[in-house]
Amino acid sequence: MEENELIPVDNNNTVEYTDDNIRHLSDMEHVRTRPGMYIGRLGDGAHAEDGIYVLLKEVIDNSIDEFKMQAGKKIEITVEENLRVSVRDYGRGIPQGKLIEAVSMLNTGGKYDSKAFKKSVGLNGVGVKAVNALSSRFEVRSYRDGKVRIATFSKGNLLTDMTQDTEEDNGTYIFFEPDATLFVNYCFKPEFIETMLRNYTYLNTGLAIIYNGHRILSRNGLVDLLNDNMTATGLYPIIHLKGEDIEIAFTHTGQYGEEYYSFVNGQHTTQGGTHQSAFKEHIARTIKEFFNKNMDYTDIRNGLVAAIAVNVEEPIFESQTKTKLGSTNMAPGGMTVNKYVGDFIKLEVDNFLHKNADVAEVIQQKIQESEKERKAIAGVTKLARERAKKANLHNRKLRDCRIHLNDPKGKGMEEDSCIFITEGDSASGSITKSRDVNTQAVFSLRGKPLNSFGLTKKVVYENEEFNLLQAALNIEDGIEGLRYNKVIVATDADVDGMHIRLLLITFFLQFFPDLIKKGHVYILQTPLFRVRNKKKTIYCYSDEERVNAINELSPNPEITRFKGLGEISPDEFKHFIGKDMRLEQVTLRKTDAVKELLEFYMGKNTMERQNFIIDNLVIEEDLAS
């Protein structure tokens, strides 16, 4: 049936609408029926935003709130076989008389009382209840004054409830195992968990988190966060300023663009919000007013790496997953977030610069260098912008998705939106015909991109491919304008395809490193082989999978080696770019030594690389054998 074909209605078989159709769902049933309302998405744990990490965060948030209330300085977290989690804190323990309600009834909790939890992350009485409902096994223990009450659940249904004597210290223990019928083939990734836990310790100095026996703590707060995450060297020592409910840290680096880490009440707001916007505005304004010169804000912030953490009463987030702050007001006195952050920065940063003339001099020099480069390419930039506007992006280069077609600049990045960057008419044609037109866009490269290593940002505007790609992504003024949650490099799995991947990643690393750091860049994994007989077809992504498939489908199955994306028919391709498509996230860490890697692989040391290839050459066996 065609997409727009009308479905005939049989008037003789009208579905009746009676009292029997009206249902009331219990709290736990509602969570299980509409999990997206509570945890954002399900997923299998392959991505940091997947639901199993939201479940873990909801449990830990309660323990963090205890620490903030000066009850318990240690949290023990154990993850067994990357499938099951236990969290033990040494706070006050959930009041035992209301233990069952606290973990199974929505809109029930102590955080509505601002006297008990003044600046908590979880204020809506949902968190741990969602964990309970979405777990095949859930256990809670409350240790208080020599007694422990223990309750166990399955999918939100109470199984056992008992109280007994104990000699253990006060606190709360929660165990949960996510429901595998919802989180299909899930697996916790230790690197995602450790990043989450480190963020907790940066924001709660003095807190010790014991993760599978490994101790994680921070003594210098946001300074430690920047030192652990910066992939470029700071031009001056990190400036670290703290107030009662605000903490900031920042420095400039030699990299392009801006990089921010923002937090509200300990929650990592990965999509920013009112507090991050206020920081960006006021840090630039304060520095401009300090030097009393006509400086451009983009020059002031170019190369800036910063972190801001604020505590507010009753924060309002734009979604249940709390990744973007929507609050405009905060205590004390109903002061706006913008004014509160602005007043702090104006006073503290201005004072710091007056007291540290050497740092102020370095900042001024950095701003002058950024201004000089911006003015040098001003003419090129203007022409490039006009060219990008005139280019028929929606036809030749960019085949956009429906969520953006009626809104060229986008009203915000949709979580499910993605763009495939591919090379060649055949490959882009296959993807275009196979994609989900609602959320998936395609950008077609013409040949291999330029090697941008060592070049200035002028090349972004002079090179048509880079200029149009930047326009398609809407990242000229930073990744806050990014139109797609996932930027997917989709190239052939051969030498040329690998080279194109490397050239694109080099481009992003050079000019938009935050695009990678924030987890937006991926590599599409497509099958290398198709092994089939008359009854079954198996797509294989490695030689090992190919061998296993041959053994499974023996004797003499048909084996096809896909040499390029264009060889895969649209009917087949739709299986590889659907909800279960295989993506490899491109990551960037301080330990990656990016500068050295780029200099070796993308620099002018041709003979050195040639000798490296010769010394490490491996002759593969004939794939047909």
* Model pLDDT for residues 556-578, shown as the tens digit of each residue: 899 998 877 877 888 888 888 88
* Alpha-helix runs per DSSP H in 49-165: 51-68, 99-104, 127-133
Instruction: Identify whether 9 is part of a domain.
Output: no
Those residues with Cβ within 8 angstroms of residue 285's Cβ, 6 or more apart along the chain or in another chain:
297, 342, 346
Kindly state whether residues 161 and 260 are assigned to the same domain.
Answer: no
21 φ/ψ angles, rounded to the nearest 5 degrees:
-80, -10
Residue 552 has pLDDT above 80, yes or no: yes
Write down the pLDDT at residue 234. 94
Give the pLDDT confidence of 327-377 residue by residue, as tens digits: 566 654 567 888 989 999 999 999 999 999 999 999 999 999 999 988 888
Rounded distance between C-alpha atoms, residue 88 and residue 99, angstroms: 16
* 291 confidence band (pLDDT: 50, 70, 90): very high
Write down the pLDDT at residue 2. 39
Instruction: Identify whether 593 is part of a domain.
Output: yes
Task: Tell me the average pLDDT across 93-105.
Answer: 90
Task: Tell me the average pLDDT across 490-519.
Answer: 88
Write down the pLDDT at residue 399. 86
Pairing of strands 135-144, 171-178: antiparallel
Rounded distance between C-alpha atoms, residue 155 and residue 403, angstroms: 35
Task: Tell me the average pLDDT across 74-99.
Answer: 94
Kindly state whether residues 349 and 372 are assigned to the same domain.
Answer: yes
Write down the pLDDT at residue 1. 38
Pairing of strands 484-490, 521-525: parallel
Structure tokens belonging to residue 223: 């300074």
The closest of 77, 111, 118 to 201, measured between CA atoms, is: 77
Instruction: Identify whether 502 is part of a domain.
Output: yes
Domain boundary among 347, 376, 405: 376
Instruction: Identify whether 19 is part of a domain.
Output: no
Domain with 318 in it: what CATH number?
A: 3.30.230.10
Domain boundary among 187, 216, 245: 216
Kindly state whether residues 383 and 394 are assigned to the same domain.
Answer: yes
- Overall domain count for the chain: 4
The closest of 590, 562, 587 to 576, measured between CA atoms, is: 562
Write down the pLDDT at residue 22. 60
Structure tokens belonging to residue 242: 């703290």
CA distances from 217 to 94, 199, 222, 226 (A): 25, 10, 12, 15
Kindly state whether residues 343 and 410 are assigned to the same domain.
Answer: no
Give the pLDDT confidence of 127-168 residue by residue, as tens digits: 899 999 999 999 999 999 999 999 999 999 999 999 999 999
The closest of 128, 125, 124 to 139, measured between CA atoms, is: 128
Residue 325 has pLDDT above 90, yes or no: no
**In this predicted structure, which of 332-341, 387-396, 428-437 has the lowest mean pLDDT?**
387-396
Rounded distance between C-alpha atoms, residue 396 and residue 387, angstroms: 14
Write down the pLDDT at residue 83. 95
**DSSP secondary structure letters along 323-378:** -SB---B-SSTT-BHHHHHHHHHHHHHHHHHHH-HHHHHHHHHHHHHHHHHHHHTH
Rounded distance between C-alpha atoms, residue 433 and residue 316, angstroms: 41
Rounded distance between C-alpha atoms, residue 419 and residue 399, angstroms: 9
Write down the pLDDT at residue 119. 57
Domain with 89 in it: what CATH number?
A: 3.30.565.10
Domain boundary among 216, 231, 250: 216
Give the pLDDT confidence of 206-251 residue by residue, as tens digits: 999 999 999 999 999 999 999 999 988 999 999 999 988 899 999 9
- Residue linked to tokens 């003024």: 477
Structure tokens belonging to residue 275: 């507090």
**In this predicted structure, which of 142-156, 259-273, 312-326, 560-574 has the lowest mean pLDDT?**
312-326
The closest of 573, 590, 585 to 45, measured between CA atoms, is: 585
* Number of other residues whose CB lies within 10 A of the CB of residue 89: 28
Give the pLDDT confidence of 590-606 residue by residue, as tens digits: 776 777 777 777 877 77
Kindly state whether residues 366 and 403 are assigned to the same domain.
Answer: no
Total residue count of the chain as it appears in this document = 625
* 118 confidence band (pLDDT: 50, 70, 90): low
Write down the pLDDT at residue 133. 92
DSSP E strands: which ranges in 518-597? 521-525, 529-532, 537-540, 558-561, 582-585
* 272 confidence band (pLDDT: 50, 70, 90): confident
Write down the pLDDT at residue 213. 93
Kindly state whether residues 292 and 390 are assigned to the same domain.
Answer: no
Structure tokens belonging to residue 582: 């295989």
**In this predicted structure, which of 408-412, 424-428, 528-532 has the lowest mean pLDDT?**
408-412
Kindly state whether residues 435 and 535 are assigned to the same domain.
Answer: no
Rounded distance between C-alpha atoms, residue 584 and residue 46, angstroms: 9
Residue 319 has pLDDT above 60, yes or no: no
Rounded distance between C-alpha atoms, residue 287 and residue 97, angstroms: 55
Write down the pLDDT at residue 624. 43
Write down the pLDDT at residue 174. 97
CA distances from 387 to 184, 441, 468, 487, 526 (A): 46, 21, 8, 23, 34
Structure tokens belonging to residue 93: 């323990």
**In this predicted structure, which of 103-107, 261-265, 322-326, 579-583 has the lowest mean pLDDT?**
322-326
Specify the 3-state DSSP secondary structure of 599. Answer: helix
Write down the pLDDT at residue 462. 85
Instruction: Identify whether 5 is part of a domain.
Output: no
**DSSP secondary structure letters along 172-197:** EEEEEEE-TTTSTT----HHHHHHHH
168 φ/ψ angles, rounded to the nearest 5 degrees:
-75, 155
Domain with 516 in it: what CATH number?
A: 3.40.50.670
Kindly state whether residues 112 and 47 are assigned to the same domain.
Answer: yes
Rounded distance between C-alpha atoms, residue 116 and residue 110, angstroms: 7
**In this predicted structure, which of 8-22, 208-222, 477-491, 608-622 has the lowest mean pLDDT?**
8-22
Burial 535-562 (b: 16+ CB within 10 A, else e): eebbbbeeeebbeebbeebeeebebbeb
Write down the pLDDT at residue 110. 54
* Number of other residues whose CB lies within 10 A of the CB of residue 151: 22
**In this predicted structure, which of 41-50, 58-67, 537-546 has the lowest mean pLDDT?**
41-50
* 420 confidence band (pLDDT: 50, 70, 90): very high
Percent of the chain with pLDDT over 90: 43
Whole-number average pLDDT of the chain: 84
Instruction: Identify whether 622 is part of a domain.
Output: no
Kindly state whether residues 296 and 390 are assigned to the same domain.
Answer: no
Structure tokens belonging to residue 522: 């991926």
- Torsion angle, CA of 210/215/221/225, rounded to 10 degrees? -100
* 4 confidence band (pLDDT: 50, 70, 90): very low
Instruction: Identify whether 10 is part of a domain.
Output: no
- Residue linked to tokens 């056992």: 160
Structure tokens belonging to residue 513: 């490193």
Kindly state whether residues 445 and 585 are assigned to the same domain.
Answer: yes
Name the residue range of residue 549's domain: 529-561
Write down the pLDDT at residue 625. 43
Instruction: Identify whether 501 is part of a domain.
Output: yes
Task: Tell me the average pLDDT across 533-547.
Answer: 90
The closest of 392, 506, 377, 379 to 453, measured between CA atoms, is: 506
Write down the pLDDT at residue 599. 74
Kindly state whether residues 127 and 200 are assigned to the same domain.
Answer: yes
507 φ/ψ angles, rounded to the nearest 5 degrees:
-60, -45
Kindly state whether residues 73 and 207 are assigned to the same domain.
Answer: yes
